[in-house]
Amino acid sequence: MADRAQEGLYSRQLYVLGDGSRRLSAAAVLVSGLRGTGAQAAAALVLAGTGRVVLHDRGQASVADRAQQFLLRESDIGQNRAEASRRALAELNPHVTVVAYTGELSEAFLTSFQQSPFTAQAHVVVLTESPLEEQIRIGNFCHAQGICFIVADAKGLAGQLFSDFGEHFIVNDPAEGEPICAAVKHISKGNPGIVTCTGMEGSRGHLFSDGDLVTFSGVEGMTELNGQEPVPVQVMDAFRLKIGDTRSFSPYRCRGLVSQVRLPQVHSYKPLSQALAEPKIQVANPEDLSRSLSLHAAFQALHAFHEEQGRLPRPRVLADAKRVLELARSLAVQPGPLDEDVVQAFASVSAGDLCPVAAVVGAMAAQEALKAITRKFLPLDQWLYFDALECLALEGVTQLTEEDCVPRGSRYDGQIAVFGAAFQELLGRQKYLVVGAGAIGCELLKNFAMMGLAAGPEGDLTVTDMDTVALSNLHRQLLYRSADISKPKSVVAAAAVRRMNPDVRVTAHQNQVGPATEMLYGDDFFRHLDGVASALDTLEARAYLESCCFRYLTPLLDSGTEGPRGNMLAMVPHLTKLLGPAAAPEDDTFPLCTLRYFPQTIQHTLQWARDEFEGLFQLPAEHVNRFMEDPAFPEQLPTGKAVEVLEQVQRSLQERPRDWRDCVRWARRHWQSCYHDAITQLLHTFPLEHEVKPGVPFWTWDKTCPHPLIFNPDNDTHLEYIMAAAHLFAQSHKIPPCSDRASASTILRSVVLPPFVPQEGFQIHLSEEQEEVPADDERLEELTRDLVQQRQELIGSEEAQVPLMEPIHFEKDNDIHIDFITAASNLRAESYSIPPTNRLMSKRIIARIVPAIITTTAAVAGLACLEVYKLVWGCRDLSCYRNSNFSLSDCLLLRFQPLPASVYWYCGREWSCWDQLEMRAVSTDGQEMTVQDVLDWMQKTHGWTVTMLLHGFTVLYDNGEKEGIRALMKKQRLSATVENAGKPQQRVLKLEYVCEEEDAETEATRPPLMCFLP
């Protein structure tokens, strides 16, 4: 996966799996059983870029398979599942070889998945839908042959996962993310030596923990630390660490990096035959162990029942469930008492097939297979059980009979077996909104299609997303193919849903759900919805959507992921607590003087490079084009800013290249200006020995003294900068760029630059206050006159194009853009002795990319859809709902009851956080109410005297104002007050107020007033 095309496709996944990703293309995985769980696991492995995926299934696709097997189409019914699935999976990723195998899983066949003695490349066998006898036989063979072995099974509302990676499995990197680094600021001589350091995010503290192993590099003075074997640290506080004895070392002078070292770990696992009797079960909470042990017995009993009866227990047939319970009792494989209610509940719906359960189990199985291949993250040790049996406590579900759940010959029979036929009709009538058609959105839509949500005559499924499909989406967004790149996501996703289930009534929108679209997504739209599923990636968008769901009392399921972690939150009107504001991301802005003169971290140099990009290739072109269109536009700017803009226009026109050679020469001159001349000038103004005052050096730990660079055309980073900068400069001036590095090198060797002479008295601004550009009216007049004349000459020229230049906006998935940012940043980092970073990490930092992988998004969507079942039933029992947090890197899944709706006191009575005052803002004459009408309504309806009325930050009424102003405020109509504030037209206003009757010290929370305008 080293080449650019692969990096572009898998970049978000590379941030999750790290260097282990390179092992994927040579790996082979067998997935046996191509119903729901196997289809999910296989799809995730194909999307992730596994080299070879072998599909095994000896059965034929049936109508009922389509309740969870999203790869099958109606025309595939009656064909072999593996063959039919292969065709669909091969379309997902052309870089993966997908093979179907329909023979016996013999030892001879399985030997092909044995680990290579030459490459140590792990291959994996994943069994789903497999009898226990076959699991044991294949599991023993794989254990003996060093083949990583996984069992994944989903039955009804429960799932089972087992991993055996052999007796000597090496995990190269057990933790998430990159190893921790910190910038060294000081190291004391002592026993222990004390390291003072800051995190790589600037002034923030380090992230080390007690016992972490670290190495040092780039330390000046105390050079004995550089290259030492890893040493453990003891954390003193956020900025200090204790290390070993440093008394014999040289005194610390400056610089250095302290880096965490993650040593490989060796793990040993038991074969399935032994692990069945001696189960090692992984749980998120110790209190969950008893339930998992009962499910461990229940799954074995289910295998025994199937072997005895030749079938699974019939849904809601008490005798069958009791027989499974008897078999579980006889197994006696657990130390504690058997939870008989869990076993019987599990057995009663074990014949069911639910897409959400298969999604969760299949995604987790795929992640375990990726761990086996990449050696990244700790494997499951060794069993994991998952269930959503709380669904059986739903009112209505408890009253289902055998007749309600018998097969109908429908694609939904697997779901009917659990929830009954009447519920399936209810699912079909649902009206849902999915906001966001990215990775999570695709998985939600796929699940909805399988479930039959909105597949009835009255159903309605709306999906909206403003974005278009990009190359980097394809490795984790299931519904898109390479042919869909640049097409609207929502349109492509809706078409994919229709192919999976033609009955689903799905509509695609390409809008943002926000204040600007309230006329579209307003009262009429939201009030007809049964629920909203959020798959958004910004806090602002999520907060707005939550406010809409609160306003219209609409259930909301909010899902999010980051790397291998995911969470799902349910917000049910009048039942659960409001989701509330998520923690805002930390402000990543840096002081201007830090970026210009005193960078300390790679984040600083990357932001400097990003600003360079905008200042070289976007803003000059925009200003030139605007000046050519309207030479008077600088008059709208302050004088100092106008001079700055016009000087930029003048410089751009003077530097206009004639051909590619001129672009290379320009890049070379700019390189010299940035990395040699500017640094030389800085050191001339503030030499190494410069002091702020006697005895206080200027260059201290927070101001690293730089050194100028000498250009070398044979240096890869130097040449990469020239090539990227020249390419972008050529593009902005509409000249065809060239990628011939040899030609560029020849041009560079002919460039001769005059020696740089530092200026005396040159002003270097060390604070933001000093950055203000002084007004210079004479200079402005001179620039305007010269440029107007030059503009006339250009307009009369036949060669001039309109617009004259092409502004280039930074795009995180454009290779040239990232090449420039990376090279520019690393050159500046070299000047300041800051460790460089690679292209991929530069891209992640500067574009603020969130790591993502298909397994996490599939799992979180499955967990969200389990809550949809409860919402469709109209469940009003809080104990039946579950929020979820999970980490696939640790194989931990935590499902817990949401917090109840909070309550508060206001004006003598108790209110729920969901309560709101609703007012139809129409006066008796049919006109829109005025502010006075609102004040009167509050007095008449609630007996409250309003002293202040607000809409957001806009004051509609303030009793503290003078009488004349109060009178004007009262006469205004509500919509006029909003329009005067310059806000988008809205038909529903959320008003806040203060009343005379309240206790201002204790009653800070009030029910909002919702005004519905005519």
Specify the residue for token string 């020249």. Answer: 726
Is 880 one of the annotated active-site residues of the chain? no
Looking at the DSSP assignment, which residues form a beta bridge with residue 910?
905
Q: How far apart are CA 263 and CA 261, in angstroms?
A: 6
Map tokens 């989903």 to a residue: 154
Q: Using CA atoms, how far apart are residues 746 and 750, in angstroms rounded to an integer?
A: 7
For residue 289, what are its two tokens? 């162990």
d(CA 32, CA 152): 10
Question: CA-to-CA distance for 44 and 92, rounded, in angstroms?
Answer: 10
3 state SS of 579 = coil
Q: Which residues of 415-426 are buried (b: 16+ CB within 10 A; e: fewer)?
A: bbbbbbbebbeb
Q: Which residues of 279-292 are buried (b: 16+ CB within 10 A; e: fewer)?
A: bebbbbeeebbbbb
Spatial distance between the Cα atoms of 246 and 636, rounded to a whole number of angstroms: 62
Helix (H, G, I), strand (E, B) or coil at 468: strand
Which of 190, 179, 193, 189 has the alpha carbon at shortest distance from 257?
Answer: 179
> What tokens were used for 103?
């023979």
Q: Residue 38 and residue 365: Cα distance in Å, rounded?
A: 9
Residue 489 corresponds to which amino acid? Answer: K
Contact 971, 928 (CB under 8 A): no
DSSP state of 583: P
What is the three-state SS of 701-763? CCCCCCCCCCCCCCCHHHHHHHHHHHHHHHHHCCCCCCCCHHHHHHHHHCCCCCCCCCCCCCC
CA-based nearest residue to 438, from 846, 90, 860: 860
Q: In Å, what is the CA distance from 235 to each residue of 189, 212, 257, 719?
A: 17, 9, 16, 42
Beta strand residue intervals within 490-546, DSSP E:
506-509, 531-534
What are the strands of the beta sheet with 383-387, ordered from one edge?
97-101, 52-56, 28-32, 124-127, 148-155, 158-164, 383-387
> CB within 8 A of 925, min separation 6: which ones?
none
- The CA-based angle 885-891-896, given to 5 degrees, is 30
Residue from 604, 836, 832 nearest 703 by CA: 832
Q: Which two tokens stand for residue 897?
A: 């009851």
Task: Given the residues 181, 442, 548, 593, select the one marked as catalytic.
Answer: 593
CA nearest neighbour of 68 among 357, 458, 486: 357
Distances (CA, A) of 225 to 184, 250, 364, 687: 12, 10, 42, 28
Interhelix angle 660-672/741-749, nearest 10 degrees: 60
Angle at 427 between CA 426 and CA 431, to 5 degrees: 100
Which residue, 3, 24, 11, 839, is CA-closest to 472? Answer: 11
| Tokens of residue 649, six digits | 């226009």
Distance from C-alpha of 467 to C-alpha of 452, rounded to nearest angstrom: 26
Whether a cis peptide bond, with omega within 30° of 0, leads into 803 is yes
List, by residue number, the catalytic residues.
Answer: 593
